Amino acid sequence: MDTSYEIRAIAPRTLAELRTRDDAGAPPRRVVDEEGGNPLRCCLERSKPGETLALVSYAPLRRWAQETGADPGPYDEVGPVFIHPHDCGGWAGAPDGGYPEALRGERRSLRAYSAQGHILGGLLLDQEQEGTESLEEGLARVYEDPRVAAVHVRAVEFGCFQLETRRAGAR
């Protein structure tokens, strides 16, 4: 069974739209990140101290559904994400093809979606607990279910969307 997946940052075209008007219909809020360290969904890096960021509402499942023809219905949701207010070149991928180091965290939830846009289940990964799978192992396990088309990785503490993965070769 193919359990491979692709890691995706927010697409450049979507970023261009979000930098003008976000998925809640509002203009982006510019904020100066005095301390740095906020996760950036455009390049899958962390912000630097003093960097100006755009805080926008983003609907990851809605955007995925627009691209693939899925209908998430009530599973659609909007939440805040930080992006660069200008084109930063996006995420070039990890050198080893793996998970972006900057977005690792001790506690992550993996939320699996069918090709129709419905939630199939999830998995909690808590690196503070001995024996917890790595993000890569958790994602591979979720993709063992052939019905899984996409998985969203979220931070547990705030529920924030971190990044999207898709089954390798899927749209």
Token pair belonging to 114? 């069918």
3-state secondary structure at position 114:
strand
The pTM of this model reads 0.91
Residue 53, judged by CB atoms within 10 A of its CB (0-12, 13-18, 19+), counts as buried
Token pair belonging to 33? 């990140």
Dihedral over Cα of 106, 80, 3, 75: its sign: positive
Mean pLDDT of 72-91: 93
Residue 113 has pLDDT above 70, yes or no: yes
Residue 38: which pLDDT band, with cuts at 50, 70 and 90? very high
What's the CA gap between 147 and 113, in Å, rounded? Answer: 8
Residue 57 has pLDDT above 60, yes or no: yes
